[in-house]
Chain A
Amino acid sequence: MKRLSRHQIESLLIYGILLVVYVIALFPIFWTFMTSIKNPTEAFLIPPVWIFNPSFENYIDVFLGRPFFKYMLNSFVMSSSATGLAAIVGSLAGYSFARFRFRGKSPLLFGLLTTRMVPAIAIAIPMFIQFWTWGMLDTYPAVILVYTARCIGYATWMMYAFFQTVPREMEESAMIDGCSRLGALVRIVLPLSAPGLVSFIIMNYVYLWNEFLIAVILTGRNTKTLPVAVTGFVAERGIEWGPACAAATVIMLPMMIIGLSLQKYIVKGMVMGAVKG
């Protein structure tokens, strides 16, 4: 047998470690999915059944036995609205910070940035009491308002960073041709920073889709989101793990698809959000 070079041994070791890491990272997800396609009794078997007939009984239970489609709709509506709103408002603010100099610019900019560090539980209590007083618990606007506010800091900061990469001459030449500032923003600057906008939208969407604390406090039967719904399996007569895993898979799936296909944007979003430049 040929003696392996030091370099080759090293490579082998690295691939070996990475293999272990990836198995650990992906196994729980894999296992949850496996459990969801077993029929309810097989899910509890130890030693576990590795080869079996897949059954979609759990999914039927989840979708027909509960208003799961409604929960998906709720999650979708609220995540999309808040993300969209934050994108618009954040773009306006980010543009202002990127292009103008004005009094109080620095404190305002950094103040907005720190809003993402506010503990959710601290604002949840008063928001709950307020909305309860106004009878607005379990409504879309209530949740969308709070979600948007939570996202605005990040949105502004991201758009600010991306707008700075667009040379001023771009809008300036457009404005010389008679375009308004906002028009230039929309027609020139925004398209040029599209990757940044997309990164923000994806990161933010994942964050809101997965959000739990505010949702569990402000939503009710009508506006329940998926994360809240999934904890609903943990009640009554013990936990129905088959349907619970099916629900978990349904929630995970969009995020996994996004993660796999749009990795480039997520990474960009993470890096920009953590360190500037």
Chain B
Amino acid sequence: MWFKKKLTPAYLLNVFYPYLLITPAIIFVLVALLYPLLESFRISFYSYSLQYPIRFIGLGNYRRALNDPLFWRSFVVTCYFTVAVVVAELLLGLGLALLLNRDLKGRSLMRSLILAPLVLTPVVAGLMFRFMYNPDYGILDYFLSLVGLRFLWVSSSSTALLSVILIDIWEITPYPTILFLAGLQSIPLEQYEAAEMDGASRWQRFRHVTIPWLIPFVVLYLIVRTSDAFQIFDMIFALTGGGPAGVTRSLSIYSWLQGWTNLEFGYASAVSYVLVAFSAVFAIVYVRILRARVEV
């Protein structure tokens, strides 16, 4: 006999019970995430325009992307944006967390208030700043004029991307702030006391206790944040729709434009798969790191 126990219904139920519990979750993921992902991949090999008959064109869409200056521009814009916001938000978030990590009065209120930009709808943020950035009646130019300055914000192709980056920084910095604040508050005091007894200066305590402790938080945060930033869509869509002369056109927006303005779904899918590839790499790294740390 190759099985040791009787295959009674009770036994089978016991063995499959864990799988049973996770089945609904798996079903949702298969139907509404995995299937569309695979389908999108399949579509990317076709000329799937709603205007012309659907033709299989193999790598045609991908070759088109490689030769498409607009695609490359979107790629560069997205890279620029991602690096800028991730670095800025990291540094500002850390700085803010350090500032807030003291016995300040009204700490709880401060934490609540700082969440405001973060819980704001990104589309609404885009709209809000579109209003404030307006050259004729925007409040920001008014403030600048009080000190004799002038800035073109999203009206000029040379400053538009920076203006977009500033909005994202405004919106998202609370996230690393809260995260690192929690991290800072989890550092056991004994570490600092021990360092102090060894004669460490304030700066040395920071370098040798605080920073090493925070690094795990920072690494995981960076991976997730970079992946998210690369997919930026909502805020830019509401603010400029791709900006003057495409200088704020991220990859997501470019894919959307190809799909819903040019009705070229095949090409749009191919472009979106660049995003998928990018996210996949980050997801793999993320899982690797998490698995090494978390016992499952």
Contacts and interface: CB of A to CB of B under 8 A. Distances in A.
Interface string A168-206: 000000000000010000000000000000000000001
Interface of A: 14-15, 17-18, 21-22, 24-26, 28-29, 31-32, 35, 43-48, 89-90, 92-93, 95-97, 99-100, 102, 105-106, 108-110, 112-115, 117-130, 145-146, 148-150, 152-153, 156, 181, 206, 209-210, 212-213, 217, 226-227, 230-231, 233-234, 239, 241, 244-245, 248, 251-252, 255-256, 258-261, 263, 266-267, 270-271, 274-277
A230 B124 contact: yes
Interface string B96-131: 100110101000101111111111111111011111
Nearest to A18: B99
A112 B25 contact: yes
B243 interface: no
For B26, B124, B125, B221, which residue has the most chain A Cβ atoms within 10 angstroms? B124
B22 interface: yes
Nearest to B291: A110
B37 interface: yes
25 contacts: A18-B110, A21-B114, A29-B116, A29-B117, A46-B141, A89-B25, A92-B24, A117-B228, A117-B279, A120-B231, A121-B231, A121-B233, A121-B255, A122-B269, A123-B40, A127-B36, A206-B119, A226-B121, A227-B123, A234-B238, A248-B128, A267-B111, A274-B179, A275-B179, A276-B290
Nearest to B266: A125
A126 B43 contact: yes
A110 B287 contact: yes
Contact of A32 (B102, B131, B260): B131
**Chain B at the A interface: mostly helix, strand, loop or mixed?**
helix
Nearest to A263: B112
B121 A149 contact: no
Given A255-B119, A258-B119, A263-B108, A213 B113 contact: no
Q: Is the interface of A mostly helix, strand, loop or mixed?
A: helix
A109 B291 CA distance: 10
Given A92-B25, A125-B269, A248-B128, A145 B40 contact: no
Nearest to A35: B131
B273 interface: yes
Interface in B136-172: 136-137, 139, 141-142, 170
Interface stretch (B13-21, B56-64, B79-87): B13-21
B193 interface: no
A14 B100 CA distance: 9
A118 B272 contact: no
Contact of B276 (A32, A92, A122): A122
B121 A274 contact: no
B116 A25 contact: yes
A84 B220 CA distance: 28
A231 B108 CA distance: 34
Given A212-B121, A241-B131, A22 B294 contact: no
Contact of B115 (A89, A120, A263): A263
A89 B24 contact: yes
A33 to B, nearest CB: 10
B176 to A, nearest CB: 9
A252 B131 contact: no
B199 to A, nearest CB: 20
Contacts of B37: 118, 122-123
B111 A263 contact: yes
Given A26-B113, A115-B29, A121-B252, A255 B123 contact: no
A93 B272 contact: no
